[in-house]
Structures are given as structure tokens and as C-alpha cells.
């Protein structure tokens, strides 16, 4: 798994509208990239809604929030609409993003739940891996972002 100090790989994902989205397009701005198992499952919904509820805190810190799972664009669109998610959801159907970031499966079957905080230069500054503490990803990410702004 990528660790603090590692550069973010330039992985391309599909956006909810089916267009290609490259992480390189975020260069110059910090972002939070969180990998999660599946749309509309209890843990993933709690995590997404917690990111939604804290979204203003992330934007106030100057950061984008991006969720990634293997679900398709139509599923992401329904999930985002149902829960009023203000941030981007990306599709990693073939798992290339998970592989590039080193996100491993839990028990060898369940897609991993990992959050990365990335600085404006595209370097990982924090990584948090916890399948079962879904909403703790938000406080971990916010804490790491505050550390970035204090380091400036």
C-alpha cells in the first residue's frame, strides 16, 4: 500500500458520466481519495454520508474529496443522487486503481477500504486502512489535512 512520501500514480478512472478522469488533473490542489467496497451497503453508505456531512470542512481546507469503488457509473449516479453526495465518485471496474495504490482485499474477497490524503504536489501525506471503522476515515483525513495547512 502507498505510504506517506510516495508519489500518487497517474491512474485514470471513469467518472459517473462515463468520461475518463485522471488524478493528474488534480495537481496543484490537495485531495482525499478514498477507496470503498460497494455503493449502498451499510458501511459504505455511512462513510459516504459522513464525508458528505463534513464536505464543507474539506473544501474549507482547500481539498477535493473523491470516492472510488468497482461499481459502474450508473450505480454511482444512483448512490450519489440518493444520498446527495456533493463529491466525485469514480469507477475502478478492473481494479487498476486499487492495484496501483496497493489497496488489498479484506479476507481476500472484500474490496479494501483505504483513504489517502494527497498534497498539492501529488504526494501521499496520510494513509488510513480500516475496513470496519468506516466513519473514522473522515476524522483521519481531516486531521491529516490540518497538518498539511500547518506545514505551509
Res 135: pLDDT? 94
Reference 41, options 119, 116, 110; nearest CA is: 110
Q: Tell me which CATH code domain 12-151 carries.
A: 3.40.30.10
In this predicted model, what pLDDT tens digit does every residue of 11-69 receive, in sequence order? 999 998 889 999 999 999 999 999 999 999 999 999 999 999 999 999 999 999 999 99
49 given a catalytic annotation: no
Q: Provide the Cα torsion 102, 105, 110, 116; round to 10°.
A: -30
Question: Three-class SS of residue 143?
Answer: helix
Find, among 15, 9, 28, the residue nearest to 87 by Cα: 15
Q: Catalytic residue among 44, 68, 127, 144, which?
A: 44
Q: In terms of Cα–Cα distance, which of 150, 83, 143, 96 is closest to 115?
A: 143
Amino acid at each position: 500500500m502507498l505510504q506517506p512520501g510516495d508519489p500518487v500514480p497517474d491512474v485514470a478512472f471513469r467518472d459517473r458520466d462515463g468520461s475518463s478522469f485522471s488524478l493528474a488533473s488534480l495537481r496543484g490542489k490537495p485531495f482525499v481519495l478514498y477507496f470503498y467496497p460497494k455503493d449502498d451497503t451499510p458501511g459504505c453508505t455511512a462513510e459516504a454520508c459522513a464525508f458528505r456531512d463534513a464536505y464543507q470542512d474539506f473544501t474549507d481546507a482547500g481539498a477535493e474529496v473523491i470516492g472510488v469503488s468497482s461499481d459502474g457509473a450508473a450505480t454511482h449516479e444512483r448512490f450519489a443522487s440518493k444520498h446527495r453526495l456533493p463529491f466525485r465518485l469514480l469507477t475502478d471496474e478492473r481494479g487498476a486503481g486499487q492495484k496501483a495504490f496497493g489497496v488489498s482485499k479484506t479476507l481476500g474477497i472484500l474490496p479494501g477500504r483505504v483513504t489517502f490524503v494527497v498534497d498539492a504536489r501529488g504526494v501521499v501525506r496520510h494513509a488510513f486502512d480500516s475496513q470496519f471503522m468506516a466513519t473514522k476515515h473522515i476524522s483521519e483525513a481531516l486531521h491529516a489535512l490540518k497538518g498539511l495547512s500547518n506545514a505551509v
